[in-house]
């Protein structure tokens, strides 16, 4: 009996909701996916230490078939998916369809479940259907975390059928710096219930069919927002997005079959063409592991360099009538160049300090880090202004005058497609070819395993309590 009591205490100490990172996946951009396309995306997500895709989906026969294919591929590769029901794109989800889809897919082994084995279900918008969810949850036992930005957090969480909330506030307003004010508003309202914190690198859309043509601030955002994740330590993080090419915040590989959105959305040009964002995934294994370890430490597999910038200076061509901010969000609009800066941005993942240099059109530019990690190990970040220069961009990382990594980037040019500035970002990356310096005593692997075992001090407390009762 005493031994049983000890086991129960130890088990309860370990029932801490495990942190997880999701990527928002637009199912509508995978119409023509083959099995190999799914395998490529899922493998890339797993390499980045992403735990699951939040599948943004409408309903219909073809969509059901696409979801079936996606879950089959995920099951084969030991990856997870969950449904994020889109109430904005295809309108109001009929309650009977929600129940059908949840019954069909939440039972599958590849469906993501919370630590108490409940399938996670989310939405994009849909607060007008709040009344449906009592009956839905009576029919399908699930853990419901909607994104209802149309409601204040305290109102949204007041409904008994809601188990947690997701925010869509991943971009700052105009020229304001990104803060955690909105996140803290959610956390205050949730009072300990789960929160999905949004993280996004960029935002530019110009889709005439949807009356969308604006930018929100990107620039340093990918670096800044992950630092805020480490500060907030939310239950979950959701990256916006894996493959939304039409809004330019994709971090997954570009599939030509997914670019039909530019024709269907009546974009003036394909602004994702030749604009890879894969480099934004490079440091995710480190920063995600760091987030899951409570910011204590994480292993650096390879040192490396990532750089991003717009290939057209703001004044080079026509703006395309793009605005900074949007009236659809009741925001004060401004010129896009007020929101996005003409700069080359760079981040490096390093065991210890290294030097950064940039050349544009062969001309050397003074460059240095504006942000450095405590203790020397981690992600370094900085930028330099373009100053209206055009030409080839080379970003170089050195240590003790020895080359570590170099990015031979896309040229900056005033030659614009259809004479319109492309407000999307080009992202490049390079892995270090030099020797990695030795880690200080107490390796990251030891620290990481120690953190997982101790569980923020809960395990020793449980053991001591159990021993007290035993003796």
Q: From the CB of residue 140, how many other CB atoms can be counted at a distance below 10 Å?
A: 18
pTM: 0.90
Query: Tell me, what's the pLDDT at 61?
Result: 86
Specify whether the CB–CB gap between 221 and 178 falls below 8 A: yes
What's the confidence (pLDDT) of residue 257?
86
Tell me the average confidence (pLDDT) per consecutive run of 10 residues in the chain, 471 residues long: 42 61 97 94 99 96 94 98 91 92 98 97 96 97 97 98 98 96 98 98 98 98 99 98 98 94 97 98 98 94 98 96 96 97 99 98 96 97 97 98 97 97 99 73 35 33 37 36
Dump the DSSP string for 193-246.
S-EEEEE-S-EEEEEGGGTEEEEE--TTHHHHHHHHHHHH--SEEEES-SS-GG
pLDDT at site 90: 61
Tell me, what's the pLDDT at 437? 73
Read off the tokens for 391: 């030409």
pLDDT value for 442 = 35
Q: What pLDDT is recorded for position 463? A: 35
SS3 letters for 395-458? EEEEECCEEEEEEEEEEECCCCHHHECCCCCEEEEEECCCCCCCCCCCCHHHHHHHHHHHCCCH
pLDDT of residue 317: 96
What pLDDT score was predicted for residue 339?
97
């Amino acid at each position: 009996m005493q031994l049983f009591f000890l086991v129960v205490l130890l088990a309860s100490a370990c029932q801490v909701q495990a942190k997880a990172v999701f990527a928002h996946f637009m199912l509508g951009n995978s119409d023509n996916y083959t099995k190999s396309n799914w395998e490529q995306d899922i493998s890339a997500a797993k390499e980045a230490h992403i735990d699951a895709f939040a599948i943004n989906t409408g309903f219909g026969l073809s969509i059901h078939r696409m979801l079936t294919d996606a879950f089959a591929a995920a099951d084969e590769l030991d990856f997870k998916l969950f449904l994020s029901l889109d109430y904005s794109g295809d309108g109001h989800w009929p309650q009977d369809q929600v129940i059908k889809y949840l019954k069909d897919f939440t039972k599958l082994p590849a469906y993501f479940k919370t630590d108490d084995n409940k399938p996670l279900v989310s939405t994009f918008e849909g607060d007008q259907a709040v009344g449906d969810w009592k009956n839905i949850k009576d029919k399908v036992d699930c853990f419901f975390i909607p994104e209802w930005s149309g409601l204040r957090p305290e109102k949204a969480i007041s409904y008994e059928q809601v188990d947690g909330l997701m925010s869509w506030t991943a971009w700052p307003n105009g020229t304001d710096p990104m803060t955690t004010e909105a996140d803290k508003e959610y956390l205050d309202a949730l009072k300990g219930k789960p929160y999905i914190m949004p993280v996004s690198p960029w935002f530019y859309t110009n889709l005439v069919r949807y009356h969308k043509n604006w930018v929100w601030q990107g620039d340093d955002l990918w670096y800044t927002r992950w630092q805020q994740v480490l500060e907030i330590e939310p239950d979950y993080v959701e990256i916006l997005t894996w493959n939304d090419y039409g809004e330019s915040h994709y971090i997954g590989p570009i599939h030509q079959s997914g670019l039909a959105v530019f024709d269907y959305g009546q974009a003036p040009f394909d602004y994702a063409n030749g604009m890879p964002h894969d480099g934004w995934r490079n440091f995710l294994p480190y920063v995600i592991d760091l987030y899951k370890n409570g910011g204590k430490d994480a292993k650096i597999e390879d040192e490396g360099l990532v750089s991003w910038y717009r290939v057209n200076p703001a004044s080079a061509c026509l703006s395309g009538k793009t605005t900074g901010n949007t009236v659809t969000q009741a925001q004060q609009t401004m010129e896009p160049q007020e929101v996005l800066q003409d700069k080359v941005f760079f981040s490096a993942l390093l065991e210890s300090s290294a030097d950064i240099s940039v050349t544009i059109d062969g001309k050397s530019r003074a460059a240095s880090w504006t942000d450095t990690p405590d203790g020397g190990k981690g992600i370094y970040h900085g930028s330099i202004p373009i100053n209206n220069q055009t030409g080839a961009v080379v970003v170089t990382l050195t240590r003790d005058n020895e080359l570590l990594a170099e990015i031979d980037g896309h040229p900056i040019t005033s030659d614009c497609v259809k004479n319109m500035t492309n407000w999307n970002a080009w992202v490049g990356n390079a892995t270090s070819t030099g020797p990695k310096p030795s880690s200080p005593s107490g390796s990251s692997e030891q620290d990481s395993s120690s953190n997982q075992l101790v569980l923020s001090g809960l395990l020793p407390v449980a053991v001591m309590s159990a021993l007290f009762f035993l003796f």
